Structure 1
Amino acid sequence: MPSSYDVIVIGLGGMGSAAVCHLARRGQRVLGLEQFGPAHSLGASHGGSRIYRQSYAEGPQYVPLLLRARELWDQLGRDAGESVFTRTGFLTVGKEGGPMVDGCLRSADEWGLEHELLDAVETRRRFPTFTPGSDEVAFYESQGGVARPEATVTAHLTVAERSGAELRFHTPALHWTADEGGGVRVTTPNGVVTAGRLVVAPGAWAPKLLPGLAVPLRVERRVMYWFAPEGGTAAFDVARHPVYIWEESAGSEVYGFPALDGPGGGVKVGFHSVGDRADPDRLDREIHDVEAEALRTFLRPRIPALAGPLVRGAACTYTLTPDAHFVVSLHPEHPQVTVACGFSGHGFKFVPVIGEILADLAVEGTTRHPIALFDARRR
Structure 2
Amino acid sequence: MTHHYDDIVIGVGGMGSATTYQLAKRGRDVLGIERYDVPHAMGSSHGVSRIIRLAYYEDPVYVPLVRRAYDLWDEIQTQYGEQLLFETGSIDAAPADDPLFRGSRRSCEEYDIDHEVLTGAEVNERYPGYDIPEDHMAVCQPNGGYVLSERAIVAHTVEAQREGARVQARERVTDWEPEGDGVRVTTDRGEYTADNLVITSGAWAARHVEALDGIAVPQRQVLAWLQPQEPERFAPENFPVWNLQVEEGRFYGLPIVKVPGFKFGRYMHRQQDVDPDAMNREPEPEDERLLREFAETHFPRGSGPTMGLATCMFTNTPDEHFVIDTLPDHPQVAVAAGFSGHGYKFASVIGEVLADLTVDGRTDHPIELFALDRFE
TM-score by length of 2: 0.96
Separation of aligned partners in 1, 2:146 and 2:349: 16
Separation of aligned partners in 2, 1:31 and 1:120: 49
Is 1:28 aligned to residue 28 of structure 2?
Answer: yes
1:306 Cα deviation (Å)? 1.7
1:215 Cα deviation (Å)? 6.8
Cα separation, partners in 2 of 1:214 and 1:286, compared to 1, 3 Å:
closer
1:299 maps to amino acid? A
Comparing 253-262 with 89-98, greater Cα deviation is found at: 253-262
Comparing 104-113 with 266-275, greater Cα deviation is found at: 266-275
1:255 maps to amino acid? Y
1:192 Cα deviation (Å)? 1.1
1:79-228 aligned within 5 A: 79-179=79-179, 181-213=180-212, 216-228=215-227
Separation of aligned partners in 2, 1:115 and 1:345: 24
Consecutive unaligned residues in structure 2, runs of 5 or more: none
1:4-15 aligned within 5 A: 4-15=4-15
Among 238, 241, 262, which residue is 2:239 paired with? 241
- Please name the residue that 1:266 is paired with: 261
1:258 Cα deviation (Å)? 0.8
Tell me, yes or no, if the aligned pair for 2:203 and 2:216 is still in contact at 8 Å.
no
1:140 maps to amino acid? C
1:132 Cα deviation (Å)? 2.4
Is 1:255 aligned to residue 273 of structure 2?
Answer: no
1:322 Cα deviation (Å)? 0.1
Offset from partner CA, 1:273-325 (integer Å, 9 cap, x none) = 32301111122121122211111222222111122221111100111100001
1:324-343 aligned within 5 A: 324-343=320-339
1:121 Cα deviation (Å)? 2.7
Paired-residue identity, %: 40
1:210 maps to amino acid? V
1:230 Cα deviation (Å)? 2.0
Offset from partner CA, 1:73-132 (integer Å, 9 cap, x none) = 000001111111111100112111211010001100000000000113321211111122
Offset from partner CA, 1:172-203 (integer Å, 9 cap, x none) = 11100012x30100001222100001101110
Separation of aligned partners in 1, 2:316 and 2:276: 13
Aligned-partner SS, 2:228: coil
1:171 Cα deviation (Å)? 1.1
Separation of aligned partners in 2, 1:149 and 1:37: 14
Aligned-partner SS, 1:212: helix
Among 304, 312, 327, which residue is 1:316 paired with? 312
1:289-368 aligned within 5 A: 289-368=285-364
1:153 maps to amino acid? I
Separation of aligned partners in 2, 1:213 and 1:144: 31
Offset from partner CA, 1:230-270 (integer Å, 9 cap, x none) = 23x111011111100111146x11111111125xx111111
Query: Which portions of structure 1, spanning 4 or more consecutive aligned residues, are displaced by more than 4 angstroms?
Result: none
Cα separation, partners in 2 of 1:38 and 1:3, compared to 1, 3 Å:
closer
Is 1:45 aligned to residue 35 of structure 2?
Answer: no
How much is the aligned-residue C-alpha RMSD, in angstroms?
Answer: 1.4
Aligned-partner SS, 1:300: helix
1:307 maps to amino acid? S
Tell me, yes or no, if the aligned pair for 1:3 and 1:183 is still in contact at 8 Å.
no
1:273-284 aligned within 5 A: 273-274=268-269, 275-284=271-280
Separation of aligned partners in 2, 1:207 and 1:336: 18
Aligned-partner SS, 2:298: coil
Aligned-partner SS, 1:50: strand
Tell me, yes or no, if the aligned pair for 1:214 and 1:377 is still in contact at 8 Å.
no
Offset from partner CA, 1:36-56 (integer Å, 9 cap, x none) = 111111110000010000110
TM-score by length of 1: 0.96
